[in-house]
């Protein structure tokens, strides 16, 4: 379970004010709004990267799969080596790369296209097998065909687990088809 109780956060100006919500185990949740409204700040507070100015946050999850807005890959090593940081099973890593349509898995990450790097970031979160999945603007640079395949993989693999989707694009919520009621509009 994740619970925010009267959370407020300011930087140069107030970003979040008295935000309260609860995400129960197995419940999917979305945060929708334009850029700069505080969506990523909420995710960073869930992860403990950013502390609120006031309020309380409760988080029972110990193992969280995350796709940040930035890919956060190790650019100087190959795609497969980025996944092998999570597993010693090379065949499992190759299987996941293939599921995410990454064919040049021996290629150094910085030489891969932006879309391939994004799919690799998603593949890493998939491989990690967290108790919850957090996706922050996850589909940037991904074509509709690959997006649909990736969503299907996550829906199957995280069935019964919570998924949090952060996006400024309403179509992301429609395509995922699991965020019909639990969306906070910021």
Q: What pLDDT does 35 receive?
A: 85
Structural domains in the chain, sorted by start: 2-185 (3.40.50.300)
Q: Count other C-beta atoms under 10 Å from residue 74's C-beta.
A: 12
The helix, strand and coil proportions of the chain, stated in percent and rounded to the nearest 5, come to: 35, 25, 40
Compute the distance between CA of residue 118 and CA of residue 77 in angstroms, rounded to an integer. Answer: 15
User: What is the pTM for the complete model shown?
Assistant: 0.92
Sheet of strand 162-167: strand arrangement: 64-67, 132-136, 162-167, 29-32, 183-185
| 105-129 tens-digit pLDDT | 999 999 999 999 999 999 999 999 9
List the alpha helices (DSSP H) in the chain: 39-46, 79-84, 90-99, 114-128, 144-157, 170-176
How confident is the model over 84-106, as pLDDT tens digits? 999 999 999 999 999 999 999 99
Question: What are the tokens at 19?
Answer: 């935000």
């Amino acid at each position: 379970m994740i619970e925010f109780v009267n959370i407020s956060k300011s930087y140069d100006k107030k970003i979040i004010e008295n935000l309260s919500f609860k995400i129960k185990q197995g419940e999917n949740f979305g945060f929708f709004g334009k850029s700069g409204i505080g969506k990523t700040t909420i995710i960073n507070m869930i992860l403990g990267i950013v502390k609120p100015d006031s309020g309380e946050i409760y988080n029972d999850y110990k193992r969280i799969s995350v796709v940040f807005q930035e890919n956060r890959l190790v650019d100087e090593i190959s795609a497969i080596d980025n996944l092998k940081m999570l597993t010693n099973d090379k065949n499992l890593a190759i299987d996941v790369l293939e599921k995410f349509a990454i064919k040049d898995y021996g290629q150094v990450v910085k030489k891969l296209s932006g879309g391939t790097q994004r799919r690799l970031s998603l593949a890493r979160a998939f491989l990690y097998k967290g108790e919850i999945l957090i996706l922050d603007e996850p589909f940037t640079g991904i074509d509709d065909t690959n997006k649909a395949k990736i969503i299907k993989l996550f829906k199957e693999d995280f069935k019964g687990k919570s998924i949090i989707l952060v996006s400024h694009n309403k179509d992301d919520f429609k395509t995922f088809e699991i965020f019909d009621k639990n969306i906070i509009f910021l």
